[in-house]
Structure 1
Amino acid sequence: MRIGITCYPTHGGSGVVATELGKLLAERGHQVHFITYDMPFRLGGFHHNIHYHAVEANHYALFRYPPYDLSLASRMAQVAKQHQLDILHVHYAVPHAICAYLAKQMSDQNFKVVTTLHGTDITILGEDPSLKDIITFGIQQSDAVTAVSGALIQQTHDLLCAQKSIERIYNFVDHRMYYPRDVTDIRSQYAREDEHILFHMSNFRPVKRIGDVIRIFERVQQEVPARLLLVGEGPELPKMREEVEKMGLSKKVCFLGKQDEVARLISLADLLLLPSEKESFGLVALEAMACGVPTIGSTADGIPEVVKNGETGWLAEVGEVEEMATKAITLLTDRDQYQAFSQNGLARSRDTFCGDRIVDQYEVLYQRVLEETQ
């Protein structure tokens, strides 16, 4: 098949999954065309069957803001015509599904539009009255819609009253990249031999509850020697640096900023902390499981679909810092339980969230929509 993919090419989970999906599809012989404003950060280097098409917004002086959406729709139509696309798979309802609809209307190409919902376009933007109608329109006009968790499907129906059928297709990991690595060569850079390493990675938005991450760690390190590694950047970062300083934890907390290659860093960890108040899937929890690292997190949204409470990690209600800290201490001090959780996570990541299995589901979906009549 000839497949176009549009996503946000940044470090967010949706861009990661869209890029990895394109790479796996290309390995199976499909022609994959990325249509984005920048090269997806996971796409670097040469890949057979993968093509990149840049989108340039017009900076004409009359426009107060460059009309990226219109430029994207135009570029989609150009690529669809030039390369005879069968499928245009867009990640996020706005603006990408809307742009795909415009591209289809202005083009004489009979390609199908598949939209994948990742969360923010529903849980944040979907609550904005000025955007509800256009998000719903983008969903309704898609030939097929998927979401990364059952929780997100329910939220979409609840918030938007969208009648469109939405298929759940989970996120995935490529086990050639995420697996328990030997990191003894770099571990001493972050912690002493007797210290445990707790890990958190996010975009540092308020919904990630970074304050809870620090409070959980503060409680844990009172009982067991530990260090905290924080990966990512975002609006909460300056405030969290101040919080760490006030709590006297500066020597035990390491801010690593954005990192492209996170698999080795995750393998350094003993536990992942994910106390989010909103999390449509929780890709980092899956990446941690694939590296044999259990999660201590919240029961928000799609997290329980990824982390099996009491089997691959421990979950508590949002804000229950003391309970999360207690569970973390238990795991770190009970070697048998820790090993069981680690092995359970490895097995679950390889079974339920295997890349080949998820790509199979997308191929079946693509074939089905191509066989449907207009």
Structure 2
Amino acid sequence: MTRVLHVITGLEHGGAERQLALLLRHLPVTCEVATLTRTGTLGAQIRATGVPVHEIGMRHNRDAAALPRLARLIRRGRYDVVHTHLYRACVYGRIAARLAGTPRVIATEHSLGDGHIEGRVPSRGVRALYRATERLGSATVAVSPTVAARLRGWGVPPGRIVVIPNGIDAAAFAFDAARRAATRRRLGIAPHERIVGAVGRLVPTKRFDLLIEAVAALRGVRLLLVGSGPERGGLERLARDLGATGRVIFTGGTSDVAGALAAMDVLAAPSTQETFGLAVLEALAAGLPVLYTTCPALDDRPDGEVPQARRLPPDARLWSTELGRLAHATRGREREPVPPVVARYAIAEQAARLARLYEDGPDLREDAPDGVAAPAPGEAAPRRERAHDAAT
């Protein structure tokens, strides 16, 4: 069976990290994981499932000593594929894999935004290093057509880009009244309180500041912020300055996103920079109405396909009005039906597509459409998705 080493920067609770943990349960190949930095809580959970997790012990971004340690691990493991995730792991992982002689090196681009990568504005050096090391790989996976367009803008040749979206296990997020009650008790939320929720890393591009401002203007509504990140202190100060300290609940990172979604009445995602929008899909799977600003998973679909989700510009007054309306309208009401778009991103299908890519690689013929993964032997060719069909 194909043996794959996944290399990731760290294993705390983030979107890319959670996506990797989910993939590990569905990929039909033998997997191990190497984390450049700390194993973290998510890494411990992965290890508990029987998947080996190796800690490289990288101390900072320029800790070059991590490179030979990673190369030795890859050489000893004699993996068929090295699959990298997130910028630092992609740079070090591609180089180490090539030094170790790995036959196939795949990278998934989770966090390339419009003018930033992983929440930071990239320097010329960062962009140059990205392009140089990208060439060491076999292919780069974009999690949406939007990301594929950004990769081309960074100078990645179209024929090296394969679009395989993030996956979701919809059943794991199905609404459960008992889970709602238990989560609310644990967080100190009364059964009938109206809760607007948000899930994501606490960084500027998520615009949780706008959300705090919008909820602060409402009566009888509290905000549940699920996630950790460098902006937490600033967001706590903002809530205090607006007189909303007791009405904003900061949970930090959590392994129970499904429970947090069950506790909510509305999911708010005012982020102006997204590569996929996994939290929006998970909320729809949980039957929540959603307000969002940017979500490629929906923006790359036809207009009107998901009536449960409404797109809003980043205007705090407009968000306040719509959140107030939805929070009161959903009180005591059954959950929304799960829209068909959620099934489109089923994790089993995306994992199968990755497995085919591990075995056969992308179709790099001159006349092949961008972003097409070749089928495994004996299988029908997958539906072709053009990487340049990005949202405008």
TM superposition score category, shorter chain reference: 0.7 to 0.9
Deviation at 1:306, TM superposition (A): 8.1
Deviation at 1:146, TM superposition (A): 0.6
Indicate conservation of the 8 Å contact 2:290/2:308, yes or no. yes
Indicate conservation of the 8 Å contact 2:201/2:227, yes or no. yes
Deviation at 1:67, TM superposition (A): 5.0
- Normalised to the residue count of structure 2, the TM-score between the two structures is 0.79
Deviation at 1:370, TM superposition (A): 9.4
- Pair 1:365-2:357 in alignment: yes
Total equivalences in the alignment: 351
Deviation at 1:55, TM superposition (A): 0.7
Determine which of 194, 203, 215 is the counterpart of 2:213.
215
Deviation at 1:267, TM superposition (A): 0.8
Determine which of 19, 24, 27 is the counterpart of 2:26.
24
Give the Cα–Cα distance (whole angstroms) in 1 for the partners of residues 157 and 364 of structure 2: 19
* Matching of residues 6-45 of structure 1 within 5 Å: 6-8=7-9, 9-25=11-27, 28=28, 30-36=29-35, 37-39=37-39, 41-43=41-43, 44=45, 45=47
Deviation at 1:371, TM superposition (A): 10
Corresponding residue of 1:91:
85
- Pair 1:115-2:111 in alignment: no
Corresponding residue of 1:198:
196
Determine which of 307, 311, 328 is the counterpart of 1:311.
307
Determine which of 252, 275, 280 is the counterpart of 1:280.
275
Give the Cα–Cα distance (whole angstroms) in 2 for the partners of residues 324 and 307 of structure 1: 23
Indicate conservation of the 8 Å contact 1:97/1:142, yes or no. no
Shift of the 69–35 alpha-carbon distance from structure 1 to 2, 3 Å rule, reads farther
Shift of the 238–289 alpha-carbon distance from structure 1 to 2, 3 Å rule, reads same
Deviation string 1:193-214 (CA, Å, 9 cap, x unpaired) is 4321111222221111121111
Give the Cα–Cα distance (whole angstroms) in 2 for the partners of residues 194 and 307 of structure 1: 36
Indicate conservation of the 8 Å contact 2:221/2:324, yes or no. no
Q: Which moved more, 1:322-331 or 1:203-212?
A: 322-331
Identical-residue share of aligned pairs (%): 19
Give the Cα–Cα distance (whole angstroms) in 1 for the partners of residues 174 and 248 of structure 2: 25
* CA RMSD in angstroms, aligned pairs only: 3.0
Shift of the 339–352 alpha-carbon distance from structure 1 to 2, 3 Å rule, reads farther
- Pair 1:356-2:348 in alignment: yes
Shift of the 322–356 alpha-carbon distance from structure 1 to 2, 3 Å rule, reads same
Give the Cα–Cα distance (whole angstroms) in 1 for the partners of residues 26 and 245 of structure 2: 41
Amino acid in structure 2 at the alignment position of 1:211: D
**Structure 1: gaps of 5 or more residues:** 60-64
Give the Cα–Cα distance (whole angstroms) in 1 for the partners of residues 135 and 112 of structure 2: 18
- Pair 1:155-2:157 in alignment: no
- Pair 1:271-2:266 in alignment: yes
Indicate conservation of the 8 Å contact 1:35/1:75, yes or no. no
* Matching of residues 165-184 of structure 1 within 5 Å: 165=159, 166-182=161-177, 183-184=180-181
Corresponding residue of 2:69:
75
Amino acid in structure 2 at the alignment position of 1:79: L
Amino acid in structure 2 at the alignment position of 1:34: V
Give the Cα–Cα distance (whole angstroms) in 2 for the partners of residues 307 and 246 of structure 1: 41
Deviation at 1:153, TM superposition (A): 1.3
Shift of the 209–290 alpha-carbon distance from structure 1 to 2, 3 Å rule, reads same
* Matching of residues 241-280 of structure 1 within 5 Å: 241-280=236-275
Shift of the 147–185 alpha-carbon distance from structure 1 to 2, 3 Å rule, reads same
Give the Cα–Cα distance (whole angstroms) in 2 for the partners of residues 355 and 99 of structure 1: 27
Report SS of the residue matched to 1:276: coil
Report SS of the residue matched to 1:6: strand
Deviation at 1:323, TM superposition (A): 2.8
Shift of the 41–371 alpha-carbon distance from structure 1 to 2, 3 Å rule, reads farther
Deviation string 1:97-153 (CA, Å, 9 cap, x unpaired) is 33233223422x342000110124874247421211111122222101111111111
Corresponding residue of 2:382:
none
Shift of the 104–241 alpha-carbon distance from structure 1 to 2, 3 Å rule, reads closer
Shift of the 143–286 alpha-carbon distance from structure 1 to 2, 3 Å rule, reads same
Corresponding residue of 1:289:
284
- Pair 1:228-2:223 in alignment: yes
Give the Cα–Cα distance (whole angstroms) in 1 for the partners of residues 258 and 155 of structure 2: 39
Deviation at 1:284, TM superposition (A): 1.6
Give the Cα–Cα distance (whole angstroms) in 1 for the partners of residues 88 and 138 of structure 2: 16
- Pair 1:56-2:53 in alignment: no
Deviation at 1:184, TM superposition (A): 2.2
Determine which of 89, 94, 98 is the counterpart of 1:101.
94
Amino acid in structure 1 at the alignment position of 2:111: G
Deviation at 1:41, TM superposition (A): 3.2
Deviation at 1:79, TM superposition (A): 3.0
Deviation at 1:295, TM superposition (A): 1.8
Report SS of the residue matched to 1:278: coil
> Which one has a larger percent helix, Structure 1 or Structure 2?
1
- Normalised to the residue count of structure 1, the TM-score between the two structures is 0.83
Corresponding residue of 2:378:
none
Shift of the 368–196 alpha-carbon distance from structure 1 to 2, 3 Å rule, reads same
Corresponding residue of 1:62:
none
Report SS of the residue matched to 2:25: helix
Amino acid in structure 2 at the alignment position of 1:203: R
Shift of the 365–246 alpha-carbon distance from structure 1 to 2, 3 Å rule, reads same
Report SS of the residue matched to 2:318: helix
Deviation string 1:268-299 (CA, Å, 9 cap, x unpaired) is 10111111121111222222222222221113
Amino acid in structure 1 at the alignment position of 2:312: A
Deviation at 1:88, TM superposition (A): 0.4
Indicate conservation of the 8 Å contact 1:244/1:250, yes or no. yes
Amino acid in structure 1 at the alignment position of 2:311: L
Give the Cα–Cα distance (whole angstroms) in 1 for the partners of residues 16 and 245 of structure 2: 32
Indicate conservation of the 8 Å contact 2:145/2:163, yes or no. yes
